[in-house]
Amino acid sequence: MKEVLSLLGKDFRLDLRHGSGLGALFLYVVAGCFIIFLAFQEIPGVEWVVLFWIINLFSAINAVLRSFTNEGVRRQLYYFTLVDVNTALIAKLLYNILLVLLTLSLTGLVMSLFNGFPIVAVPEFLLVCLLGGIGISACFTLVSAIAFRARNQSTLMMVLAFPVIIPLLLPLIKASKLTLAPLIWEDLRNSIYMLVGVDLILIALIVLLFPFAWRE
């Protein structure tokens, strides 16, 4: 646990030191929400949900997919000599989950300021966002690790990421649309189970494949 916290602190300090990553993330979210406000003025609930997840998807790409590319091969080899592969995986995944949840919170806040907040079932929407944040971070962490040693990393990451993220994005939008009106648990249960299933599959994949990407 101490090693995990140390790696989390290292990633946080690196982002603060460079500043460009978090700054670009903030600018992307604010600019995207403001452009949507200028284009639509008033956004119906369903369109609000779709745009919310689209902004978060591309923001997460910029935030999470650089988690390995920002660290050179020598630094990765140094980490390999210090910590176990499972420790590195847990730390990287937790940091990316926190980063994606920060992106979701920032996007929801800015879109609420510019375009209102049409969600009625707020606790259920927060649960969907939590499951979505875990799935998105797991997906992009896996893709970033696989594409890390490729020559054309950015292109390969885009090619690998979108086919994997679509099975998660569709139930996310469907579940979020249900929260636009009052509902009971039975209305959302199947969508939540599907999201949990997709998250577990993605986490299982990253647990199985990350050691190979780490050691290569």
User: What average pLDDT does the segment 87-111 reach?
Assistant: 85
In this structure, are residues 161 and 140 in contact, taking their beta carbons and an 8 Å threshold? yes
More confident of the two residues 65 and 72: 65
| pTM of the predicted structure, to 2 decimals | 0.84
Question: In terms of residues, how long is the chain?
Answer: 216
Long-range contacts of 5-13 (CB under 8 A, 24+ apart): 7/79, 7/83, 7/87, 7/88, 7/91, 7/92, 7/95, 8/91, 8/94, 8/95, 11/67, 11/91, 11/92, 11/95, 12/95
3-state secondary structure of 48: helix
pLDDT (0 to 100) of residue 84: 72
Residue 19 has pLDDT above 60, yes or no: no
Q: Residues 112-166: pLDDT tens digits? A: 888 788 888 888 899 999 999 898 888 888 777 776 665 555 666 667 777 778 8
In this structure, are residues 90 and 139 in contact, taking their beta carbons and an 8 Å threshold? no
pLDDT (0 to 100) of residue 34: 83
